[in-house]
Amino acid sequence: MAHRQTSLLVIQPTPFCNIDCSYCYLPGRLGKQRLSFDAAAIIFRKLFSFPTIRDSVTIVWHAGEPLVLPVNYYERMFHLIKGLQPSNLRVRHSMQTNGTLITEEWCDFFKKWEVGVGVSVDGPRELHDIYRKQRNGAGSFERTYQGLRTLQRAGIPFHVISVLTVESLQEPEKMLQFYVENGVEYVCFNIEEQEGVNGQSRFVESRSADASYRTFLERFIELAMKRSQYFGIRELDNCLSAIREAGQPVRNDQVEPFRIISVDCSGNVSTFSPELLSLQHERYGSFKFGNLLEDTFEEIATRVEKSTLYADIRVGLRQCSDACAYHSLCGGGAPSNKIFENGSAASTETAYCRTFQRSIDVVLNLIERIPQALARLPPERSPFRTTST
């Protein structure tokens, strides 16, 4: 098995989350475990010796709410990592947060270490608070909003991840107005997915979701492009990149071993879709392929190569190539969505696939009407697609 370069390390500092979103896929969100410094020293020393980690890598602190651990924890952790990384390796840190715990102290830390920041907010209060609740049942919008304002006062750039639900799909004008009025400059849309402990999704089950998503995105992009100032939309940028690079080998990090490496706070390691790390499934059992406190890269890679999961992913890729007109732009979908919607990675279309297809349709239609849209340049790389925290 040839190994391509790892682009992303998803590290779970703790599974704990201080809020309780009803659509969250993660189990164990009350767990108080944390990645210890002794374990981290072993884990990162081993990771940095992997043949797949070469000149640069992004570390995303995720799979729980990273900011529940204090600033001094990350100060020590980042210094530890810096001391272990090879001199030729560029490491960039990023955090995906629900925003409720952001303080001026955190902002000082983000600046010092040049941390990329993503904030999960689902639009205006009346939409955000439907699903993103505190543990006492109250909405979390006010605390998230204050976190956004704290970042802005400190001059820290950030992107927003919003989970689109059956409610917010009806409100493209209201959603854009919220972002613009509150100084958000870049937004990423995830759908409410059927995944992990979120065994049912109103989006996935809705017969009108595909049409609603297309109508929403079409209107949202149309309004955004009428603005005199640039407003970034991940879905538009990703589709433009895919179209511009048509005919080139498509890159899908979720179907290639070790493109994404996910590690939990106990050192367990997974690959492919990062959401799989903490999950179980009746066909595959655990998605963990080893533990970095004990296993070598060769042992982990052998388990991946021989796994039912990898075999099924390859079958699913062949099926997608044969059946899907969008395959050359997409590269075969997301294994996590196939598994939890279809029961197996050896399958094809999911709700996520359909949103990608509708996104491509919208952007192709846009290019036909406004040819100069193809010249719009996306950022270095649009933020990582992950379920919102």
Please list the rounded mean pLDDT of every run of 10 residues in the chain (389 residues). Answer: 84 96 88 96 97 96 96 98 96 97 98 97 97 95 97 97 95 97 95 85 83 95 87 91 83 94 97 93 96 97 97 97 93 95 96 94 88 59 50
H-helix segments, the chain: 37-47, 71-84, 104-113, 125-131, 141-153, 172-181, 202-205, 209-225, 234-244, 297-306, 308-323, 327-330, 335-342, 351-369
pLDDT of residue 165: 93
Residues 300 and 46: their CA atoms lie apart, in Å, by 12
Residue 66 in tokens: 């990273």
Taking residue 20's Cβ as centre, other Cβ atoms within 10 Å add up to 16
Residues 330 and 309: their CA atoms lie apart, in Å, by 20
What sign for the dihedral angle of Cα 322, 199, 161, 358? Answer: positive
Taking residue 337's Cβ as centre, other Cβ atoms within 10 Å add up to 24
Residue type at 271 in one-letter notation: T
pLDDT of residue 384: 53
Residues 61 and 340: their CA atoms lie apart, in Å, by 24
pLDDT of residue 286: 95
Task: Enumerate residues 6+ apart whose C-beta is below 8 A from 380.
Answer: none
Three state DSSP letters for 96-119: EECCCCCCHHHHHHHHHHCCEEEE
| CA 378 distance to own-chain centroid | 18
pLDDT of residue 28: 82
pLDDT of residue 207: 77
pLDDT of residue 245: 82
pLDDT of residue 388: 46
Residues 19 and 136: their CA atoms lie apart, in Å, by 9
pLDDT of residue 381: 45
Q: Which of 39, 36, 34, 41 is nearest to 82 (CA)?
A: 41
- Only one residue has tokens 């989350």, namely 17
